[in-house]
Amino acid sequence: MLLTENAVKVLNKRYYRKDESGNLLEDWHKMITRVAENIAGGDMEQGMKFYSLLDSGYFLPNSPTLMNAGVDLQQLSACFVLPIDDSMDSIFEAVKNAALIHKSGGGTGFSFNRLREANSRVRSTNGVSSGPISFLKVFNAATDAVKQGGTRRGANMAILNVDHPDIMDFIVCKADTRELTNFNLSIGITEAFMQAVSQDENYDLVSPHTGKRVGKQNAREVFSLIVDMAHKNGEPGIVFLDRINQANPTPAVGRIESTNPCGEQPLLPNEACNLGSINLSLLVDGDSIDFDKLREVVRDSVDFLDAVIEQSQFPLPQIDEMARSNRKIGLGVMGWADLLFQLNIPYASDAAVELAAKIMEAVDFAAKQRSMELAMQKGSFPNFPLSIYAKGDIERQSIEHNWDELLVNIQKHGIRNATLTTIAPTGTISMIADTSSGVEPQFSLAFVKTVMDGEKLIYVNKHFEAALSERGLLTPELLEKVSQRGSITHLDEIPQDMKDIFQTAHDISPEWHIRMQAAFQAYTDNAVSKTINFPHDATVEDIRSAYELAYQLGCKGVTVYRDGSRENQVLSVGTSTPSGVVSDRRVAPRMRPEITHGVTQRLETGCGHMYVTINTDEQGACEIFVQMGKVGGCASAQLEAIARLSSLALRSQIKIDAIIRQLKGIRCQSPMWNKGKMITSCGDAVGQALENFLSLHRSGDFKSINFQIDTSLADNDTPTRRSAALCPDCSTTIEHVEGCLKCPSCGWSKC
């Protein structure tokens, strides 16, 4: 496979083995040889087949398989679900087990629904329960302490059912974005609840401890709160648990309570799943798709993923037992947007939606057919007699395949894997394959990357670049304009037919995002990881309509993101200021004026008297100075560093609230009380000084200073403004795709 510069960088940093000094021990061929030989388990013929499959670029497994196959860890699965029962033993056993999974490179999902509600009586201690949210914070703190695979922190999913008595508190528990930073949250939605929403009725809240009704809530009010919070910052998402359990392949084994961190893999407690994706963009043959080749790739990919189960060393014995009893795999796709570019089909079109269903049906049918053949050779998954396959309850609508015949044969011969298809985030593996992520539209057609000595390079989607070249439009000036927003809708130089084809995530209405998700979901055993992108000026009603449409069209869950809604976003690529002037990709601090005005506060710290001066210019707070008694040396240097960086942030239009959150609560060994408040460190003191300053302004006691805050990030900002987070590793714009944050430049991701 021909690797791009970005692919090589990602592989060097995150995948290739290194010695103790950090020197590379592998290249592409050595890595895929290691993986192929290990997964083949010593079978030379299989090993050669798997090597060819990986080197072709048609298929790549999930990252843990590429990283860990053939090394001591040998933990090859990406996603796990752990049970939490209503006891301290179970809760802290789950904390320990989650830590072990995060250490091995996996993510975890939990249902907190079995935990009794807050203030419920605990008979064993004659006290009251603190409720699921308090324990959610314990899990979050434990995740902070474990660095996942040496490269990133573990990701978690927390689900609480809509009929839990603490549901209202759970819905808003991430209103403060400083809280629960290692968790994605979703509400478990039932069919009964959706009916109550439709009819504006109350529904019962049920204590998980006693099973008794303990109250009622109005369904529309609860649904409205979910929508309001999703509009504010994208959380919580929703999962349709009843719908998920209708497709549960082994209902006699247990009920599905939770999903993995990105929501696309519903799992029973103590289950795991290994994932992989087919690169659809390589299957374009002229103006059509090579379905024969697709079928061949699916069959080889199923062989690979099934073999992964045999070679996996699962982190816990109970997970090992469940994984081998159900043998779930999740084969998905990537490169969907690039395929549409090649075929000149708009993403937001009936033609694209129909093609999505046709392709996914072909993948699903070929996968099940091959799994049936493997069952004839090696045996069905052990829980097959308890599955819906054995009873003939599985359903698929036919487009071009004889499902009735296949399902009859599965009942007769068995099937090797309880599930076969999942559309998972493809994050870094799509970068390695040089294709678009999962089934998402392209987030940006061009982006700027800053390299050595501040040089800026423009990276352009290869299919878009080829189209520009073919029409004689490829110029550095045009690419610069495209990179400023990532989209071409605003450019008069681009013909309309190209604008129709080369759509990006923010060019596409939420309705088409959801219709596409539903098309893939119709032929996917598990679920689809996808972000429904909204513009900054989207209304609460827009979010509500999207949730309702997702329910109507058969989706199993929804993740939404309104551009710029997360407080930790800062102005970045393609931003348009309120004046309409397009800004540079990176944030630059404004110049300090000759004269500033401000106030000085005195605070008592464990190191002595601290004096914090905060000055303002015409746009608001612009600088901080910190002085402390006779302190010198390292302590003085640290205080100066805090002041300089805080000043830089203020002049770069970072919200004061955001700076306060970073500084407050930092602890040292010498805390000190100051006017009834504990100051835990010098950094905490600066944070409290900023908080006092902000409080004075908001109370109106600061009228003498021309103080304006966050004008560039106000809620009534112009809807054309685009904002985005910056990658912490390379400062490139982060994309919100597949339920995750992803850097298109260096491969950093966070789910």
* Percentage, residues of the chain above pLDDT 90: 66
Q: How far apart are CA 730 and CA 451, in angstroms?
A: 9
Q: Which amino acid is at 323?
A: A
Q: What is the mean pLDDT of residues 266-293?
A: 97
Query: Is the pLDDT assigned to residue 363 strictly greater than 80?
Result: yes
Q: What is the mean pLDDT of residues 183-188?
A: 96
pLDDT bin (cut points 50, 70, 90) of residue 349 is: very high
Q: What is the mean pLDDT of residues 414-435?
A: 95
Query: Is the pLDDT assigned to residue 247 strictly greater than 70?
Result: yes
Structure tokens at 24: 């590379």
The SS3 call for residue 388 is: helix
Q: Average model confidence (pLDDT) for the chain?
A: 88
- The dihedrals phi and psi of 569, each to the nearest 5 degrees, come to -80, 145
212 vs 565: which has the higher pLDDT: 212
pLDDT bin (cut points 50, 70, 90) of residue 580 is: very low
pLDDT bin (cut points 50, 70, 90) of residue 554 is: very high
Q: Which pLDDT value is given to residue 591?
A: 76
Q: How far apart are CA 462 and CA 134, in angstroms?
A: 48
Q: How far apart are CA 299 and CA 361, in angstroms?
A: 14
Q: How far apart are CA 600 and CA 73, in angstroms?
A: 55
Q: CA angle at residue 606 from 603 to 610, to 5 degrees?
A: 30
- The dihedrals phi and psi of 554, each to the nearest 5 degrees, come to 95, 15
Q: How far apart are CA 366 and CA 301, in angstroms?
A: 10
Q: Which pLDDT value is given to residue 665?
A: 80
Q: Which pLDDT value is given to residue 669?
A: 66
Structure tokens at 120: 């419920």
Long-range contacts of 213-216, Cβ-Cβ distance < 8 Å, separation of 24 or more: 214/117, 214/165, 215/165
Q: Which active-site residues does the annotation give?
A: 260, 262, 264
Beta-strand (E) ranges in 399-462? Answer: 446-450, 456-460
pLDDT bin (cut points 50, 70, 90) of residue 124 is: low
Q: Which pLDDT value is given to residue 585?
A: 40
Q: What is the mean pLDDT of residues 702-713?
A: 36
Lowest-confidence range among 20-24, 126-130, 138-142?
126-130
pTM assigned to the model: 0.81
Query: Is the pLDDT assigned to residue 370 strictly greater than 50?
Result: yes
Lowest-confidence range among 158-162, 167-171, 311-315, 710-714?
710-714
Q: Which amino acid is at 228?
A: D
pLDDT bin (cut points 50, 70, 90) of residue 714 is: very low
Beta-strand (E) ranges in 303-403? Answer: 329-334
Q: What is the mean pLDDT of residues 510-516?
A: 97
Q: What is the mean pLDDT of residues 546-553?
A: 96
Q: How far apart are CA 429 and CA 441, in angstroms?
A: 16
CB 380 within 8 A of CB 359: no
Q: Which residues contact 431 (CB under 8 A, 6 or more apart)?
A: 6, 7, 10, 744, 747
Q: Which pLDDT value is given to residue 674?
A: 76
Q: How far apart are CA 276 and CA 302, in angstroms?
A: 9
H or E element, residue 185: strand 183-189
Query: Is the pLDDT assigned to residue 188 strictly greater than 70?
Result: yes
Query: Is the pLDDT assigned to residue 576 strictly greater than 70?
Result: no
- The dihedrals phi and psi of 100, each to the nearest 5 degrees, come to -65, -40
Lowest-confidence range among 31-40, 143-152, 307-316, 647-656?
143-152
CB 639 within 8 A of CB 621: no
Q: Which amino acid is at 470?
A: E
pLDDT bin (cut points 50, 70, 90) of residue 571 is: very low
Q: How far apart are CA 222 and CA 218, in angstroms?
A: 6
Q: How far apart are CA 204 and CA 286, in angstroms?
A: 57
The SS3 call for residue 543 is: helix
**What is the number of residues in the chain?**
751
pLDDT tens digits, 441-494: 999 999 887 655 556 678 899 999 999 999 999 999 999 999 988 999 999 999
pLDDT bin (cut points 50, 70, 90) of residue 638 is: confident
Query: Is the pLDDT assigned to residue 312 strictly greater than 50?
Result: yes
Q: Which pLDDT value is given to residue 292?
A: 98
Q: Which pLDDT value is given to residue 459?
A: 87
Q: Which pLDDT value is given to residue 631?
A: 58
Q: How far apart are CA 708 and CA 714, in angstroms?
A: 11
Query: Is the pLDDT assigned to residue 733 strictly greater than 90?
Result: no
Structure tokens at 702: 């600061």
